[in-house]
Amino acid sequence: MRKAHRFMLLLLLINSPALRLTAATPDSSSAPAAAGAAAGAPAAAPIPPAPAKEASEGRIPIGIGVKVSTLGIGGDVAIALSHRTNVRFGFNAFSYGDTFTKDGVTYKGNLDLRSAQATFDMFLLKGFHISPGVLFYNGNNVNANASVPGGQTFTLSNTTYLSDAANPVTGTGKLAVYKAAPMLLLGIGNLVPRSGRHFSTSLEIGAAYQGPPRVTLNFSGSVCDSTGLFCRSISSDPTIQSNIAAEQTKLNKSTSPYKFYPVLSFGVGYRF
């Protein structure tokens, strides 16, 4: 009987909920160890965001400008080749007319400035640059129409003539230079600022080698002696033609020192 009671008590203890809960609950001493292990594990490094591309990335830096110079009024386009070099293309144009009298001959002249240029800008110190280049088109010239009213005297190569009233003296004159001219410029300013600015100013000084200016003279009509009775055609008189050639030679000699054309320029620009 006692053995049966002991057996029943053992069954009750085995099926007790408290005993089951104790067995299912983990050891509390292992919790801190697990937490410590989790805390000791290194955190994953955050992935840095991809750098944003600049708006100008992939574009060729270009600047444009307008200028006023001794070559005329014009514009430039510059392209950056490297951090310290640009290539630049430009054009210039200007016209001016005037009337003047020399040795009794009235000249109605016109100055035409027409040129196109290319330069290689090398920046030695910030905006200071030296720019070798060329006027690959040099159309600068002076043209003049000449006239002597009939009955008026004029001088050619120290010889005085009287313009025929029936066939007055007329003519043309022209001053021309080389069609291409090497040039060298020094200046301050950059059409393509490396600082990121959009607007810029520039000042340049230099010279272009245009060669000795060449003057040509042509006259037509008739001249007379001082009485106005004996007249002859200019085109058929060798003496008058010789004096015209001598006058032309004198003018060419007086202009020969002007082989270099001075260049002074001021401009403003914008970088895209």
Q: pTM surpassing 0.85?
A: no
DSSP code of 27? P
d(CA 117, CA 126): 23
Domains plus CATH for the chain? 62-271 (2.40.160.170)
Strand partners, 181: 135
Mean pLDDT for the stretch of residues 17-23? 45
Tell me the average pLDDT across 84-98. 97
CB atoms within 10 A of CB 83: 7
Count Cβ atoms within 10 A of the Cβ of residue 15 and give its class: 0-12 exposed, 13-18 middle, 19 or more buried: exposed
Beta bridge partners, 218, equal 172
Is residue 204 within 8 A of residue 132, CB to CB? The reply is: no
- With a CB cutoff of 8 Å and minimum separation 6, the contacts of 252 are 212, 213, 214, 215
Segment 37-80, tens digit of pLDDT: 444 445 555 666 655 444 455 688 999 999 999 999 999 999 99
Pairwise pLDDT comparison (120 vs 57), residue with the higher score: 120
Of 31-40, 74-83, 206-215, the least confident: 31-40
Residue 230 has pLDDT above 60, yes or no: yes
> What percentage of the chain's residues is helix, strand, coil (to nearest 5)?
20, 50, 30
Average confidence (pLDDT) over 117-135? 96
User: Residue 126's pLDDT is what?
Assistant: 86
* Bigger pLDDT: 202 vs 12: 202
- The rounded distance, in Å, linking the Cα atoms of 173 and 197 is 49
Question: What band does 97 get if pLDDT is binned at 50, 70 and 90?
Answer: very high
Per the listing, tokens 């003049």 go with: 144
Type of residue at 100: F
Phi-psi region of 231 (alpha: psi -120 to 50; beta: other; left: phi over 0): beta
